[in-house]
Amino acid sequence: MPLKDDLGAPVELRERPRRVVSLVPSLTEVLATDARDALVGVTDYCTHPADLDLPRIGGSKYPKVSEVLAVRPDLVVANSEENRPEEVAALREAGVPVWVTEAPATVPAALASIRRLLGEAFDLAEPEWLREAERLWNRDLPPVTATAIVPVWRKPWIVVGRDTFAGDVLRRLGVANAYADHEERYPRPELDELQAVGADLVVLPDEPYEFTADDGPESFPRIRSVLVNGRFLTWYGPSLVHAHAELAAALEPRPTDQA
């Protein structure tokens, strides 16, 4: 019987994939770590590892299907949130198996998805980094020390809402998401609402929008702003091992926050 991806779609593989295109930056990092020789194409936004010298096939949302097909993949790895169904369908219609991972709402769900991909599609043993990531992140939830708004874009403002990986990452570090109960996963509130929502922290990642010290914090003059590595906040893969300590240090309450 064929394998099935996270969404239950069949993925017909006759053998371990030897020519793989990744349409997801975080999964590119996973495959570059555990199946590097199989990678033959990645997106323009696949920035890690930094020395990855492979054909670029466009962006995650709008990959160039013709260029994906040109590298003759025997498997394409995609994600239900990062990639559009149109490109996935076009690749399947061209006879290319596509493994679609589900957008994870929690860190454990993300790690379970990666375990399935590596174990079932690639027949690989569980990597050490995955076991270490589970040890770091699969702990009892700590007390909440702050409530944050987490913008991922501006003009218009878009923030992290319900059931998101980034929201779960923060909660596992003691930071609650002010929009965790919103009906949308990525709400678009006006700035005056964000300023009045009652948060005492603004978490500003450097991707997908590149917030900086001069672009973002000035919109929240009465709330502490923290700039964080967006990869540590939103990527699920080997970076999770380093993300725990890096984010914990960045988000640690300062003495002035308790005043």
In this structure, the answer to whether residues 214 and 109 fall within a common structural domain is no
Neighbouring CB atoms inside 10 A of 100's CB total 23
- Written as tens digits, the pLDDT of the chain (259 aa) is 579 999 999 999 989 999 999 999 999 999 999 999 999 999 999 999 999 999 999 998 999 999 999 999 999 999 999 999 999 999 999 999 999 999 999 999 999 999 999 999 999 999 999 999 999 999 999 999 999 999 999 999 999 999 999 999 999 999 999 999 999 999 999 999 999 999 999 999 999 999 999 999 999 999 999 999 999 999 999 999 999 999 999 998 876 554 4
In this structure, the answer to whether residues 15 and 85 fall within a common structural domain is yes
In this structure, the answer to whether residues 96 and 157 fall within a common structural domain is no
Classify strands 20-22 and 39-41 as parallel, antiparallel or unpaired. Answer: parallel
Query: What's the number of domains the chain is made of?
Result: 2
In this structure, the answer to whether residues 189 and 149 fall within a common structural domain is yes
Q: How far apart are CA 180 and CA 230, in angstroms?
A: 19
Residue 132 is encoded by which pair of tokens? 């270490």
Residues 148, 170 contacting (CB under 8 angstroms): yes
Residues 126, 119 contacting (CB under 8 angstroms): yes
In this structure, the answer to whether residues 122 and 143 fall within a common structural domain is no
In this structure, the answer to whether residues 10 and 83 fall within a common structural domain is yes
The answer to whether residue 257 is domain-embedded is: no
- Residue 221, domain CATH: 3.40.50.1980
182: domain range? 139-252
C-alpha 242: how far from its chain's center? 15
